[in-house]
Structure 1
Amino acid sequence: MHPHLRLLIYGILTWLIPFVLSLFLYGPDGTLTIGVFAFKSLMIISGAASGALLIFLYLRSLPAGTNWLTAGIIVGISWLLINWALDLMVMVALFGMGGWEWFIEIGSRYLVIPAMAILAGAAAEIGAEKR
């Protein structure tokens, strides 16, 4: 698979995995079946865990000699923008949540993606230098 296509697909998956999980946490009447804080915790944990795994899989798929820090920056920024775009389409455009409310309650949490990706790229860079 072409690296750009993998970057896009994995970026979509970082948003889609927690979203699909969230669907199972709502009852038929559209209300949460668990407490709101448990829900938010599950979303953060599932997003971070799936994001970390996908960052690892993506970086592992790149050829030897890659500038790992640059790759981490590209992944982090790309996936942040993908997640923001998908979330804005669903939460703001579809469900009518206010833009500022969305950013404070949800959007700012996506900043963990570039943090993890950049640090993974930096760790890979350090590891490559020690070989």
Structure 2
Amino acid sequence: MHRHLRLLLYGILTWLIPFGLSLPFYGSDGALRIDIFAFKSIMIISGAAAGTLLIFLYLRSLPKETAWITAGMTIGITWLLINQALDLLMMVGLFGVEPWEWFAGIGSRYLIIPMMALLAGASAELASGRTK
């Protein structure tokens, strides 16, 4: 699979996996069936687990001569934009959440993606032995 397509598909998966996991926690009436804090914890943990695994798999698929820090920044920015766009579409577009309310409660949490990806890229750079 071409690396740009993989970058986009993995980015979509970083959003889709936690979204899919969230569905059983909602009743048919759309109401959350568990404590909100437990739900948020599950979402953060599942998102971080999916994100770190997919960052690892994506970086592992790149050639050895990759500029790893640049790759980490590319992953982070791309996946941040994908996740926020998909979440805005669902939460604001379909469920009518106010944009500021979405950003304060959900959207700002996606900023962890570029942090994790940049750190993974920097770690790969160190492991490559090309840094001092």
**If the length of structure 2 is used for normalisation, what is the TM-score?**
0.97
1 CA distance for matches of 2:28 and 2:90?
Answer: 19
Q: State whether structure 2 residue 55 is matched by structure 1 residue 65.
A: no
**CA-to-aligned-CA distance 1:42-85 (integer Å, 9 cap, x gap):** 00000000000000000000011100000000000000000000
- Match for 1:45: what amino acid? I
2 CA distance for matches of 1:100 and 1:11?
Answer: 23
The number of residues matched between the two structures is: 131
State the 1:130 CA deviation.
Answer: 6.3
Secondary structure of the equivalent of 1:113? helix
Structure 1 equivalent of residue 7 of structure 2: 7
- Match for 1:12: what amino acid? I
Root mean square deviation of aligned Cα? 1.1
Structure 1 stretches of 4+ with a deviation exceeding 6 A read none
State the 1:27 CA deviation.
Answer: 1.4
Q: % of aligned pairs identical? A: 69
- Match for 2:58: what amino acid? Y
Unpaired stretches in structure 2, ≥5 consecutive residues: none
2 CA distance for matches of 1:130 and 1:87?
Answer: 38
- Between 21-30 and 63-72, report the one with greater CA deviation: 21-30
**If the length of structure 1 is used for normalisation, what is the TM-score?**
0.98
Q: State whether structure 2 residue 29 is matched by structure 1 residue 29.
A: yes
- 1:1-131 correspondence runs (5 A): 1-129=1-129
Secondary structure of the equivalent of 2:64? coil
**CA-to-aligned-CA distance 1:4-48 (integer Å, 9 cap, x gap):** 000000000000000000001111221111100000000000000
Unpaired stretches in structure 1, ≥5 consecutive residues: none
State the 1:128 CA deviation.
Answer: 0.1
**CA-to-aligned-CA distance 1:90-125 (integer Å, 9 cap, x gap):** 000110000100000000000000000000000000
